Amino acid sequence: MAKIHVMDEILANKIAAGEVVEKCVNVVKELVENSIDADSTDIKVELQEAGTKFIKVTDNGSGMDYDDAIMAFARHATSKIIDENDLFNIRTLGFRGEALASIASVSKVVMYTGDGEIGTKVVINGGKIEEKKKCEAIKGTSITVSDLFYNTPARLKHMKSLYTELAHITEYMNKIALSHPDIRFTLINNGRVLLKTDGSGNMLKVIHSIFGYDITKKMLKISGENLEYTISGYTSLPEVHRSSKNGIIILVNGRVVYNTQLVRTINDSYHSYKPDNYYPITVLNITVDPQLIDVNIHPTKMDIKFSKMEELCKLINDTIKSALQIETLIPEVDVVLDETVNYDISSDSPKQEIRKEHYEQEKIDLSTQEVEEEVTDLFKEIEQRPQKIEIQPRLPQLYVVGLVHGTYIVCENEEGMYLIDQHAANERINYEKILKKLANPTKETIAPLYPITLEFSNNDYIVLKHNLYLLTDMGFKIEEFGVNSIIIKEHPTWLNDNNALENIKRLIEMVINLESNFKLERFRDSLAALMACKRSIKANTSISKEEMESLIANLRLCDNPFTCPHGRPTIIKYTNYDLEKLFKRSGF
């Protein structure tokens, strides 16, 4: 029975608007999503030269009968949706019936497909069907797209470097593997395996295949729910720093989506646990009634709008924060004895990412029974890590040994040796103290001793005037004063640090920069961090043993003793095992 419908013209145009096959990843995406639609449980993508020479996708799905196989390459053919209201409700993924026809028009395509009873072979060259015939029975589909753009050399020139093409494909395959842990995916380029998942349905195993053992052991399981949303997934310890956001992967009802606000919310949940301009690795699945979301489909990504966005952001924020509450977050020094294994995971360059994956893959290929067991134990450990149990104090008991360069306090306990950055530690203590004070400020205002007049550029002044309510709401009394200037008659007392003028300038600068996105909470936070830095012992300052002990005692009382307000570590740990390894005392 023919399963392919011809799509409603308007819908087709709507979706096809701007739709072009311009990168190898578009082809991979289309073919892989067709395979998923066909209920495949095993999908293999083979590339030569990052897909520019050929892309072959083989699946074990339901395949097509003879008629469908021919129809599949007609314009507007799709087996997937009939009504645009189904765009998100549908379980299936592909919806661009255009794409196969577009691909076939700029490449050489060979397809073998079969529903188990009868096989069909179709050969298309630059959009022209050159061969179609019945062949031996197979179950599934294999499509080879070679010499992409051979007949449109101008487009061929537009293709980025092979590394960029490959990086795009790898990123796409990673995401699709994460959204379908129950499908076995294999990605191979020039004979090298870049990704291999086992289709066991275990998301942590997919994370392991993508990011490797060292990252996987730094993942925390997260889960939470409110009335509308259920969220679950894994997120990295704050010590994992990446300069790119592409390790943050959001799924809605099992499908990868793109939403900048959610990415920001996830990153903000780590605020002061890590520098804000580095990103975690997070795989977050949001389950929601499809009625509550609005999907805007774009050829390369899926943007999505949520009703009750604020509640969703709060849920994500609370869930990640409480996951961070339970862990002892002292980074252990990575003792790496084999130089070749030392990859910079924070690196953004696709070259490095891919090299890393090569390495990880080699590790998987070489895996012995022992490695298998280690990985299985790790999965169990991560699954069983307690959630939402607060342990206080979060730092273990530490005994001061001495001070290095007037900067690092050396401590020990039965587990190993610790180094504490005295400035960062002191900064954290002061920050939490100041923040608590600023969090509940009085409504009192004060008139400055000397009138404060401030002058602005004409455009800043316009922005400021427009957003002046933000300041008056805080209790400021402000009047206009000449051209592009204001005079501050009164300001809140909580700004009355030694540096009221500087603080006010910072505040106004933030109001001008952020306008209606200005959040008083954010300003207080940055003010607390600044004041804390100024009040803390500097590096290269010798302090007594008693001072060190009291510093550590105060650090142990902090809500988050592990990082300074800027997200840099206050403490690092060398386990006894690491030390033995470094001195070759153990069996290394």
Site residues for Zn ion per CB under 5 A: 427, 533, 564, 566
Nearer residue to Zn ion within complex by CB, 142 or 536: 536
Nearer residue to Zn ion within complex by CB, 164 or 499: 499
Smallest CA-to-CA distance from 444 within 488, 486, 490 is with 490
**What type of residue is 485?**
S
Give the count of alpha carbons within 13 A of 511, CB side only.
23
Other Cβ atoms closer than 10 A to 329: 20
Place of tokens 């004979």: 191
* Closest CB 569 distance from Zn ion, rounded Å: 10
CB 421 within 8 A of CB 569: yes
Handedness of CA 252, 257, 260, 263 (dihedral sign): positive
* Closest CB 439 distance from Zn ion, rounded Å: 20
Task: Name the token pair of 262.
Answer: 């959610």
* Closest CB 564 distance from Zn ion, rounded Å: 3
* Closest CB 409 distance from Zn ion, rounded Å: 16
For the chain, how far is it from start to end, CA to CA, in angstroms? 64
**What type of residue is 459?**
N
* Closest CB 525 distance from Zn ion, rounded Å: 13
Nearer residue to Zn ion within complex by CB, 427 or 525: 427
* Closest CB 563 distance from Zn ion, rounded Å: 8
Our CA angle for 364, 369, 373, nearest 5°, is 90
For the stretch 461-474, what's the b/e string if a residue is b when 16 or more beta carbons lie within 10 angstroms of its beta carbon?
A: beebeebbebbeeb
* Closest CB 264 distance from Zn ion, rounded Å: 22
Task: Name the token pair of 437.
Answer: 């004070």
Cβ within 8 Å of residue 395, ≥6 positions away: 328, 330, 552, 555, 556, 561, 562, 571
Nearer residue to Zn ion within complex by CB, 522 or 581: 522
Nearer residue to Zn ion within complex by CB, 351 or 535: 535
* Closest CB 421 distance from Zn ion, rounded Å: 9
* Closest CB 436 distance from Zn ion, rounded Å: 18
3-state DSSP percent of the chain in helix, strand and coil, to 5:
40, 25, 35
Nearer residue to Zn ion within complex by CB, 61 or 565: 565
Nearer residue to Zn ion within complex by CB, 488 or 528: 528
* Closest CB 541 distance from Zn ion, rounded Å: 13
Nearer residue to Zn ion within complex by CB, 4 or 424: 424
* Closest CB 536 distance from Zn ion, rounded Å: 6
Other Cβ atoms closer than 10 A to 575: 14
Enumerate the β-bridge partners of residue 284. Answer: 233, 250
Nearer residue to Zn ion within complex by CB, 79 or 267: 267
- Tell me whether strands 139-146 and 128-135 are parallel, antiparallel or unpaired: unpaired
Cβ within 8 Å of residue 14, ≥6 positions away: 84
Give the count of alpha carbons within 13 A of 40, CB side only.
30
Gap between the Cα atoms of 563 and 570, Å rounded: 5
Cβ within 8 Å of residue 422, ≥6 positions away: 403, 406, 407, 408, 409, 537, 539, 541, 543, 548, 551
CB 174 within 8 A of CB 283: no
Nearer residue to Zn ion within complex by CB, 145 or 537: 537
Give the count of alpha carbons within 13 A of 23, CB side only.
18
CB 7 within 8 A of CB 81: yes
Nearer residue to Zn ion within complex by CB, 425 or 533: 533
* Closest CB 243 distance from Zn ion, rounded Å: 19
* Closest CB 553 distance from Zn ion, rounded Å: 20
* Closest CB 429 distance from Zn ion, rounded Å: 12
Gap between the Cα atoms of 128 and 151, Å rounded: 12
Any idea how long the chain is? 588
Nearer residue to Zn ion within complex by CB, 102 or 407: 407
Which parts of 358-507 are beta strand (E)?
Answer: 399-404, 408-413, 416-421, 445-446, 452-455, 477-480, 485-492
For 528, the 3-state DSSP assignment is helix
Nearer residue to Zn ion within complex by CB, 148 or 529: 529
Nearer residue to Zn ion within complex by CB, 155 or 566: 566
Gap between the Cα atoms of 328 and 482, Å rounded: 56
